[in-house]
Structure 1
Amino acid sequence: MSYPGYPPSDGYPAFPGYPPTGQESVYPPAGQYAYPAVPGGFPPSGGGTYPAAPPNAGFPGAAGYPAPGAYPASGGYPGAPQAGGMPPYPGGPGFAVPPTGPGFGGYPQQPPAQSYAGGGPAQIPGFPGGQVPSPMPGPPAAVVQCTQGTIQAAPNFDAGRDAEILRKAMKGFGTDEQAIINVVANRSNDQRQKIKAAFKTMYGKDLIKDLKSELSGNVEELILALFMPSTYYDAWSLRHAMKGAGTQENVLIEILCTRTNQEIREIVNCYKSEFGRDIEEDIRSDTSGHFERLLVSMCQGNRDENQTVDYQKAQEDAQRLYQAGEGKLGTDESCFNMVLASRSFPQLKATVEAYSRIANRDLLSSIDREFSGNVERGLKTIVQCALNRPAFFAERLYYSMKGAGTDDSTLIRIVVTRSEIDLVQIKQMFTQMYQKTLAAMIASDTSGDYRKLLLAIVGQ
């Protein structure tokens, strides 16, 4: 099974050393690595071909590169080009790539042979020649944060002036919702916290209580979510998902299986301090079996965060997963839990690629066959985030609006929590996966001030 919107495992080199030593034109030969096969081997631009970049040309804008924005939006990379013309690097937040080297115009330089430890050659699809020596500790990998939020901190910010605007919008008969939208959709979460403090200082009133008295329905939920500190909002969402009768397992999965170690630890501490409860105990009382164990593992916030990929270890883990599932009668669930809960996301990406070679099936498909229910969804979420985190959230947004009715809580939660992290990339993936923009789907699925505020956050 191939997951919609995810690049094929050989769509971009999964290994340092690209391009191979001796081929010092920046682009690979025509037809490889998802570049269009055209005369000259380079994407067309105005009817001509791109020249090979001179050594050390750097990034777009330097001599020999196409002008910013000239990359094709639907090339082998997920999403449309970002500002500056360079498409986002696949792999999502924190994806590790080796340092760039001279002579390759900013692409990673192949490490010298002596940087590899012993071991036989490993077959790596997408890597020139198909094999490299393994394992390869090499130099520490650089971490490229290819993330961008639609909401940025407002320049020339004045908390007192914003508090005054909000007070005026709510004072007297009626409410000026547009004035409220103009402020909250254009301030960072940190700035909103300062506005709350300024409002209480200036007027001796609680801004949140005033907003609740003036607003209702989905627009109220959205604005209150925007005014919650981000860690508190995650903790509040988890508490809400486990409070009372029934459990919203998808919320537990969405938050606990996608956040960083630091975010998890802050959420766990906030949950304890704000609600006087132990999140692990609540999970144990609300879930069971292998799903419970997976969530408890996630709550530890102990995932390896070393960004250097050990390809021999990836091969061993892939073999271990195969033997625990497809390669035996029955399933060793604890093996899947151990690997997927503890390895770094770049390491898991390499494991997924190695698994495809061993099993002749992708790991998501094997999880489909070996698991069911909530634990299946949790394990697949981790794999999807290792492959392409923005695509995971794009899919969640799509299904929150697809069909009759709208899952407004999911729509609100993802738009709010990703608005300062990677909502730009999520929008790009959404368009690529579903051939429509996120803004267009929100516009057709919502209405009134709720729609205006969502669109103001998401952007067109």
Structure 2
Amino acid sequence: MSYYNQGPPPPGGYQQNHSPYPPQQGHYPPPQQPYGQPGYNQGPPMGQQGYGPPGGSPYPPQGGQYQPPQNQGYGAPPPGQYYGGYGAPPSAPDPPSLGYVPGQHANMDMGHAADELRRAMKGFGTDEKTLVQVLGGMDALQVASVKIAFQQRHHRDLMKDVHGETSGHFREGLEAIIRGPLDQDCHALHESIKGLGTKESAMNDVLLSRKNGDLEAIKQHYHHKYHRSLESDVQGDLSMKTERLFNLVISAHRNPESTPVIPQQTQADVEEIYRATEGRTGTDQMTVCSIIAQRSDGQLRAISQAYRQRSGRSLEACIKSEFSGHMEDALLFMIRHAEDPAKHDADLLENAMAGLGTNDSALVRRIVMIHWDKQRLHQCKAAYKHFYKRDLADRIRGETSGDYEKLMLACIGAPPLMGR
């Protein structure tokens, strides 16, 4: 039995702890909703607040003209509500995404799925095909529920059984799915920090361009899981100014996507960035970091467009000329995500596969991260087809093999080739 594309939640809905973050009602620019699904999340439906630009995906599934996200239809802020240099930011916090409230689980019987998983690993040999079919298509709350059902029905730990029965990148992918979005984020962060050197791409993937509710959940769960604060671990692993940038990010004071884009504030931000970079000798790096780390995606899109008009070159070109190293990479990550999140996802996947050899850990992390949100996944696949002129599934088939290949394809909703 496959659990891929289960459709809407069951009539009873999903069971979850009451979130301290009330659903927000806002207008475009829409918030990023990593890992959420239409109808599943705690906020309004995707059509109101979703992943991507207004009016649906700019990447038609079949043909059509590519139109990058644009800032359009921005109005004045509601009475008494301002932000930045024009008053206090809106107080309504971003709610956490699906899978970011501990204790959330699907209100449906996952006993049959738990039994299938047990049969696939019981006795001599392992039925890898069943593991892929059952786990590859579950959403975050179904995964949480099947772990509970597996423990209750078979008195065994699903993660330990999968770890003992599988190996390599196939095991890495299955374990990333079983952890669920929140625990996997914390695991990826911890792995990126411990030992010699920092795996910067994992830190960027998990922390940058995230909504405040998810960052708060990550900080709390990281402390619970490792008995250390995320802030202290990051401080001990980054150079001084890059550490200050990530402290800004981790503080979770980013403007919500419901925050209006005010032209006067956009121009003020552009002037500050210009004076801190091209308009002086030397670079006031922290002024630039503070603006980019704390503005919403919609605000960053407006800043990027206005900066080109002000300077004659792109904000990205400015960052490349004035910054270097991890700080440059982090700033570019946030700007590129804001300008076109689906293209950014596609580029990150391609970067994991490009060149000599595949960065399999990055590929697994990014595919599993994207696959939790089916609308995000759909837009990423369409963007990949548009910019790289081939199907993402074909690219994955060329870079992976065996059960690892089948799992990655199941995560993006694509079948393996016949006979493989």
Mapped to 1, the partners of 2:319 and 2:71 lie a distance apart of 25
Aligned to 2:239: 288
Alignment of 1:75-86 (within 5 A): 79-81=58-60
Mapped to 2, the partners of 1:401 and 1:375 lie a distance apart of 23
Selected match of 2:362 from 407, 410, 424: 410
**TM-score relative to the length of structure 2:** 0.75
Closer/same/farther in 2, CA of residues 88 and 156 from structure 1, 3 Å limit: farther
Mapped to 1, the partners of 2:282 and 2:242 lie a distance apart of 17
Moved over 2 A (4+): 77-80, 85-91, 95-99, 155-158
2:121 alignment partner AA: M
Judge conservation of contact 2:358–2:399 (CA < 8 Å) in 1.
Answer: yes
Judge conservation of contact 2:371–2:412 (CA < 8 Å) in 1.
Answer: yes
Judge conservation of contact 1:96–1:308 (CA < 8 Å) in 2.
Answer: no
* In the alignment, structure 1 residue 374 sits paired with structure 2 residue 353: no
SS in 1 for 2:278: coil
* In the alignment, structure 1 residue 449 sits paired with structure 2 residue 403: yes
Following TM superposition, by how much is the alpha carbon of 1:80 offset from its aligned partner in structure 2, in angstroms? 2.8
Closer/same/farther in 2, CA of residues 324 and 254 from structure 1, 3 Å limit: same
The C-alpha deviation readout for 1:281-303, integer Å capped at 9, x for no partner, is: 11111101221111111101110
* In the alignment, structure 1 residue 246 sits paired with structure 2 residue 225: no
| Unaligned 5+ runs, structure 2 | 1-27, 29-55, 80-89, 91-96, 98-105, 415-420
The C-alpha deviation readout for 1:231-283, integer Å capped at 9, x for no partner, is: 11111111110011111112112221121111111001111011000111111
SS in 2 for 1:327: coil
Aligned to 1:190: 141
Mapped to 2, the partners of 1:437 and 1:274 lie a distance apart of 38
Selected match of 1:423 from 358, 374, 377: 377
Following TM superposition, by how much is the alpha carbon of 1:87 offset from its aligned partner in structure 2, in angstroms? 8.6
Alignment of 1:195-274 (within 5 A): 195-274=146-225
Following TM superposition, by how much is the alpha carbon of 1:207 offset from its aligned partner in structure 2, in angstroms? 1.2
Q: Which of structures 1 and 2 has the bigger CA Rg?
A: 1
1:430 alignment partner AA: Y
Judge conservation of contact 2:61–2:382 (CA < 8 Å) in 1.
Answer: no
SS in 1 for 2:340: helix
SS in 1 for 2:255: coil
Mapped to 2, the partners of 1:438 and 1:157 lie a distance apart of 32
Mapped to 2, the partners of 1:87 and 1:198 lie a distance apart of 47
Mapped to 2, the partners of 1:396 and 1:308 lie a distance apart of 29
2:228 alignment partner AA: R
2:144 alignment partner AA: Q
2:244 alignment partner AA: R
The C-alpha deviation readout for 1:16-52, integer Å capped at 9, x for no partner, is: 9xxxxxxxxxxxxxxxxxxxxxxxxxxxxxxxxxxxx
Mapped to 1, the partners of 2:307 and 2:171 lie a distance apart of 46
Structure with higher RCO (Cα < 8 A, 6+ apart): 2
* In the alignment, structure 1 residue 440 sits paired with structure 2 residue 394: yes
The C-alpha deviation readout for 1:137-190, integer Å capped at 9, x for no partner, is: xxx9xxxxxx9xxxxxxx995310001111111111111111111101121121
Selected match of 1:390 from 342, 346, 352: 342
The C-alpha deviation readout for 1:189-232, integer Å capped at 9, x for no partner, is: 21011111111111111111111111000000000100112111
2:164 alignment partner AA: S
Aligned to 1:166: 117
Following TM superposition, by how much is the alpha carbon of 1:459 offset from its aligned partner in structure 2, in angstroms? 2.3
Aligned to 1:310: 262
Q: CA RMSD in A?
A: 3.2
SS in 2 for 1:80: coil
Judge conservation of contact 1:219–1:450 (CA < 8 Å) in 2.
Answer: yes
2:274 alignment partner AA: Y
The C-alpha deviation readout for 1:82-112, integer Å capped at 9, x for no partner, is: 59x9999854xxx87549xxxxxxxxxxx79
Aligned to 1:126: none
Q: Number of residues paired by the alignment? A: 339
SS in 2 for 1:251: helix
Mapped to 2, the partners of 1:258 and 1:351 lie a distance apart of 15
**TM-score relative to the length of structure 1:** 0.68
**Greater shift after overlay, 397-406 or 441-450?**
397-406
1:182 alignment partner AA: Q
The C-alpha deviation readout for 1:308-344, integer Å capped at 9, x for no partner, is: 1111111111111111111111111011011101112
The C-alpha deviation readout for 1:108-129, integer Å capped at 9, x for no partner, is: xxx79xx99xxxxxxxxxxxxx
SS in 2 for 1:405: coil
